[in-house]
Structure 1
Amino acid sequence: MALTRLLLSETLQRLGRPGVIGIALLASSLGLAVSTVLPSWQELARLRAKAAATQEYLRTAAARAPRADESPAGQLRAFYAFFPLHTEASESLSHMFAAARESRLQLSRGEYAIVTDRQTGLVVYRMTLPVRGGYTQIREFVAASLKAVPALALDEVTFERPKISETQVQARVRLTLYLRAAS
């Protein structure tokens, strides 16, 4: 015991203060690495196992899923199935008006026209909406509307600022909602 203490004391004197500080820093960094990196490695292993299980599940689900009809007629049916029914127009419009509310805009009375396209068989619902607000508000409204209603298309946006000093702009937003006629 006394010999071990003597050897330790002699080694510490040989290392000096910088050596002792270096050894202490090395020991503390090793402890820090073990306490932070080891849990991260365990979490990474857990996430990799979960990802592998999910990929296996998707492979088996895809194998069991019915095959899509790849014929031209099947592709055309799938294309038309994308569009909402014309009876669901009010739901699509409510999403659009909700986007206006979220953008803090009030939509003025607009022009609405419904036309059935004879070539495609789609019901085309054209809207021209006068809007007054900030440029970013109008841009947010248009982006949110297009995101909320995938069958909605932006045809035109025109901005007008009556006076250069005004922060509000007057815009005219022309949108088209494509709907599927009842089968």
Structure 2
Amino acid sequence: MSTSLKNRLSAGVQTLGLPGSVGVAALLLAAALAMLSHHWDTRSARFQAEADQISQRLRAQRAAGVQESAQAPATQSQWQAALPPAAVRQQRLADLLEIALRQGLVSSRTEHRLSVDAASGLERLRVSMPVSGGYAQLRSFIEAALLHDPALSLDALKLRRASPQAAEVEADLTWSLHGRSDLAQGAKP
């Protein structure tokens, strides 16, 4: 600060005294707060406008969702019709096991459990398959199996190695073969 400004401020404080100087400082503070308040009001109005726009978009999406849900049963029936019939279940399981063998994986045993939901017309064959082999072989097997059967899902995968240096991996795979059930009421072949 320059010496002339310091001298003027010092003279002003002496002229006004301490109460006058505090009053001037309070007025300056009030003016600054008023400007800041105006800035906050402007930001608040802008945020409120953005919130209103988002709310309108959500209402429009919900309304569109109601229309889409009216179309959902047709989409669900199309999806269900695209599932393989129960008659090919054993062939699909054989294909899964054959893909594992072609990839060079060794499987000691597999366990199968069929669950059928007659009301919805769906079935699921759950297949537990422990395998052992190289990590690259396992990855190739999973990829090939999922590409081969679009109604197949890999539900669980557990990997372990006998030791960190071991080349082979032991994996417990749990698959689901999804399909149309023959037990569905009014099922179509």
TM-score of the superposition, structure 1-length normalised? 0.57
Q: Give 1:165 deviation, angstroms.
A: 2.1
Q: In the alignment, which residue of structure 2 is the partner of 1:171?
A: 171
Task: Measure, in 1, the Cα distance between the counterparts of 2:81 and 2:89.
Answer: 15
Per-residue deviation, 1:163: 1.5
Higher radius of gyration, 1 or 2 = 2
- The aligned amino acid for 1:83 is L
Letter in 2 for 1:85: P
CA distance in 2, matches of 1:178, 1:102: 23
Amino acid at match of 2:146: L
Q: Alignment RMSD, CA only? A: 1.9
Q: For 1:109, what is the secondary structure of its paired residue? A: coil
The aligned residue for residue 15 of structure 1 is none
* Cα distance between partner residues in 2 of 1:169 and 1:74: 44
Q: Alignment partner of 1:91: what SS?
A: helix
Could you tell me how far 1:72 is from its partner in structure 2?
4.9
Aligned partners of 2:181 and 2:140: how far apart in 1? 30
3-state SS, counterpart of residue 125 of structure 1: strand
Match of 2:148? 148
Contact 2:106 2:132 in 1 (8 A): yes
1:48 alignment partner in structure 2? none
Q: CA contact under 8 A between 2:84 and 2:151: conserved in structure 1? A: yes
Please, which runs of 5 or more residues in structure 2 have no aligned partner? 1-69
TM-score of the aligned structures, taking structure 2 as reference length? 0.55
Q: Which amino acid aligns with 2:180?
A: R
Matches within 5 A, 1:1-183: 72-117=72-117, 120-182=120-182, 183=187
Match of 2:3 in 1: none
Alpha-carbon shift at residue 82 of structure 1 (Å): 1.2
Secondary structure of 2:114 counterpart: strand
How far does residue 106 in structure 1 lie from its aligned partner after superposition?
Answer: 2.5
